[in-house]
């Protein structure tokens, strides 16, 4: 057979894995790899910064359930991707990062962009390793994809030295792995399932709390069946929103704090005890509550909070087991009084917030912006939220209705994910409406990749809550806060985006409607109140 390059072998391995798109920024070691991938029909999206490539791959994975793939060139290129890769790992999201690196044959010579990159990535990924033998490149890639998707998902880094990619080998001597990944759905131990139902049946104020594990398990329908069968109020992590439509009769978003504080039994499915859920500790949670934890990863049990029952298994399967076990043991009306208490709190807080949602003040209150946006965008829009104050305002006021339709930074709280996530989501779903809600400070990190959206005709709609700085004036310290009302609309309108500047409340909706009608990417830059701080404004 013919001789082939290492780059061609990597491309074929990606094709065999079913990869449909690579996000990258060109550079010596990896450009031939991308070219070979394009020749096999894999789409490539070249961006303006490697951090964007990693973040777009993250969002693509979130929006599709597949493994996202990004590629970065040697030295500073690979390091630029590090923040996005670390964020994907923290978010338990499967991403494979292909990092070009200096030639092995020039190691320790001070070669161009020579850097020992693999150790840098080791603490930021599930697995990081260097590929050293050209003929084994397909094997290396099979390991990377298996590790990214297995169990608790995460990012994997594969270091690809330039001379390993450029070398040629006899294709007949190359092993292309097949059937190397099997997706299993383990059931929970029946005895543990029964113990869980016994705890819930005795409880008077239980809640269900779910995370992205329910999404990766594709267990939305099973979760809804359990909630409907038991009448149990439910909440999700920010990353898991939309797993059940948030206009469901047992979702009380504005009563979240009360529910956590008073719950006497908590069923945790597919999420971890981290900062997103206050580590499940008092005083945000009832110190005496019984905790039941369902997870594919046993390391989640007892982390930060003692667990009364740990059910090791796939969320989809275990939720089915719990629903079956609840029949006859838990009546759907058992927790009606508890649900009514939460419903009353929810309604009262939403009523208070409604006054601000309708505010006609200038500069515009961010909640007024959120109200106008939620009434203009589609119910099935994919919503990306990036920032500080606006992230909280949007969390309180803009609901989600579909799984994988709400994207945010996750537990690392990385700023600058807005445009990159929007790009990744739009590539994943070309026909979906993708809305990015961003603070002005966070937009500044990767806003230049609006150029990528323009070049690739990706119609993302970016709405900027521009409060002239990082955070609200009343939050944290004012040192280093001020940015002024930066006219991002002028910057990106000049290179091809539909762009508008809004200062008056009555101008918001017409501007949004024009942006959504525009064929390509759009920016609506809205002058909002620098003093509006999310926590104090809504009282949630």
The answer on 299 and 215 residing in a single domain is yes
Within-domain flag for 393: yes
Model pLDDT for residues 90-125, shown as the tens digit of each residue: 999 999 999 999 999 888 888 888 889 999 999 999
Q: How many domains does the chain have?
A: 3
DSSP 3-state assignment of 438? strand
The tokens of 172 are what?
């007949």
What percent of the residues of the chain are helix, what percent strand, and what percent coil, each to the nearest 5? 45, 15, 40
Within-domain flag for 440: yes
Within-domain flag for 351: no
Beta-strand runs (E) in 231-306: 234-236, 265-269, 290-295
DSSP state of 244: S
Model pLDDT for residues 233-261, shown as the tens digit of each residue: 999 999 999 999 999 999 999 999 999 99
Are the CB atoms for 325 and 232 separated by under 8 Å? Answer: no
DSSP for 295-330, please give it: ES-GGGTTSSS--SEEEES-HHHHHHHHHHHHTTTS
What is the distance between the alpha carbons of residues 196 and 177, in angstroms, rounded to a whole number?
41
The answer on 13 and 144 residing in a single domain is yes
What is the distance between the alpha carbons of residues 435 and 430, in angstroms, rounded to a whole number?
13
The answer on 335 and 369 residing in a single domain is no
The answer on 366 and 428 residing in a single domain is yes
The answer on 144 and 7 residing in a single domain is yes
Within-domain flag for 347: no
Query: What pLDDT is attached to residue 93?
Result: 97
The answer on 69 and 122 residing in a single domain is yes
Write down the number of H helices and E strands in the chain: 21, 19
**Phi and psi angles of residue 499, each rounded to the nearest 5 degrees, phi first:** -145, 135
Within-domain flag for 82: yes
Within-domain flag for 185: no
The answer on 289 and 168 residing in a single domain is no
Residue 16 lies in domain = 3-173
The answer on 409 and 278 residing in a single domain is no
The answer on 371 and 282 residing in a single domain is no
- Those residues whose C-beta lies under 8 Å from the C-beta of residue 287, and which sit 6 or more positions away, are 281
What is the distance between the alpha carbons of residues 339 and 249, in angstroms, rounded to a whole number?
9
Beta bridge mates, 440: none
The tokens of 39 are what?
């020749």
The answer on 458 and 413 residing in a single domain is yes
Query: What pLDDT is attached to residue 539?
Result: 43
Model pLDDT for residues 255-296, shown as the tens digit of each residue: 999 999 999 999 999 999 988 899 999 999 999 999 999 999
DSSP for 43-66, please give it: EEEE-SSHHHHHHHHHHHHHHHSS
CATH code of 249's domain? 3.40.50.1220
CATH code of 521's domain? 3.40.50.970
Model pLDDT for residues 346-387, shown as the tens digit of each residue: 999 999 999 899 999 999 999 999 999 999 999 999 999 999
The answer on 106 and 133 residing in a single domain is yes
The answer on 527 and 500 residing in a single domain is yes
Within-domain flag for 208: yes
Q: What is the CA radius of gyration of the chain?
A: 24
| Exposure string over 461-482, b if 16+ CB within 10 A, otherwise e | bbbbbbbbbbbbbebeeeeebe
């Amino acid at each position: 057979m013919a001789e082939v390059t290492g780059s061609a072998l990597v491309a074929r391995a990606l094709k065999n894995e079913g990869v449909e798109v690579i996000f990258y920024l060109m550079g010596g070691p990896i450009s031939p790899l991308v070219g070979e991938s394009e020749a096999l029909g894999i789409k490539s999206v070249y961006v303006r910064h490697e951090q964007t490539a990693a973040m777009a791959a993250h969002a693509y994975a979130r929006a599709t359930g597949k493994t996202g793939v990004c590629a970065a060139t040697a030295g500073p290129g690979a390091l630029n991707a590090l923040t996005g890769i670390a964020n994907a790992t923290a978010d338990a999201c499967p991403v494979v990062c292909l990092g070009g690196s200096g030639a092995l044959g020039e190691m320790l010579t001070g070669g161009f962009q020579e850097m020992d990159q693999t150790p840098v990535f080791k603490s930021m990924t599930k697995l990081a390793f260097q590929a050293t033998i050209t003929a084994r490149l397909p094997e290396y890639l099979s390991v990377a994809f298996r590790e990214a998707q297995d169990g608790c998902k995460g990012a994997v880094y594969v270091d690809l030295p330039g001379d390993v990619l450029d070398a040629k080998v006899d294709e007949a001597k190359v092993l292309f792995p097949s059937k190397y990944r099997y997706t299993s759905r383990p059931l929970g131990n029946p005895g543990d399932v029964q113990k869980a139902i016994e705890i819930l049946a005795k409880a008077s104020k239980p809640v269900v709390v779910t995370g992205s594990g329910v999404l990766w398990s594709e267990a939305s329908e099973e979760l809804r069946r359990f909630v409907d069968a038991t009448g149990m109020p439910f909440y999700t992590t920010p990353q898991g929103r939309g797993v059940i439509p948030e206009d469901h009769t047992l979702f009380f978003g504005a009563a979240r704090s009360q529910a956590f504080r008073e719950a006497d039994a908590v069923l945790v499915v597919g999420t971890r005890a981290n900062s997103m859920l206050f580590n499940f500790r008092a005083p945000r949670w009832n110190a005496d509550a019984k905790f039941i934890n369902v997870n594919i990863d046993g390391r989640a049990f007892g982390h930060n909070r003692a667990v009364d029952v740990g059910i090791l298994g796939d969320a989809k399967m275990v939720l089915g087991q719990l629903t079956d076990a609840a029949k006859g043991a838990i009546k759907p009306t058992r927790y009606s009084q508890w649900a009514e208490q939460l419903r009353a709190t929810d309604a009262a807080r939403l009523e208070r917030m409604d006054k601000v949602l309708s505010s006609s003040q200038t500069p515009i209150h961010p909640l007024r912006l959120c109200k106008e946006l939620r009434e203009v965008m589609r119910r099935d829009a994919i919503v990306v939220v990036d920032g500080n104050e606006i992230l909280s305002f949007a969390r309180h006021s803009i609901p989600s209705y579909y799984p994988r339709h709400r994207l945010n930074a996750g537990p690392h709280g990385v700023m600058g994910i807005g445009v990159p996530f929007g790009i990744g989501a739009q590539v994943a779903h070309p026909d979906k409406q993708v809305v990015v809600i961003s603070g002005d400070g966070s937009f500044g990190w990767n806003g230049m990749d609006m150029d990528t959206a323009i070049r690739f005709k990706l119609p993302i709609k970016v709405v900027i809550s521009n409060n002239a700085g990082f955070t609200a004036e009343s939050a944290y310290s004012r040192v280093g806060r001020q940015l002024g009302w930066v006219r991002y609309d002028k910057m990106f309108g000049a290179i091809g985006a539909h762009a508008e500047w809004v200062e008056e409340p009555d101008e918001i909706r017409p501007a949004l409607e024009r942006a959504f009608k525009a064929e390509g990417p759009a920016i609506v830059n809205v002058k909002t109140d620098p003093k509006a701080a999310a926590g104090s404004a809504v009282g949630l």
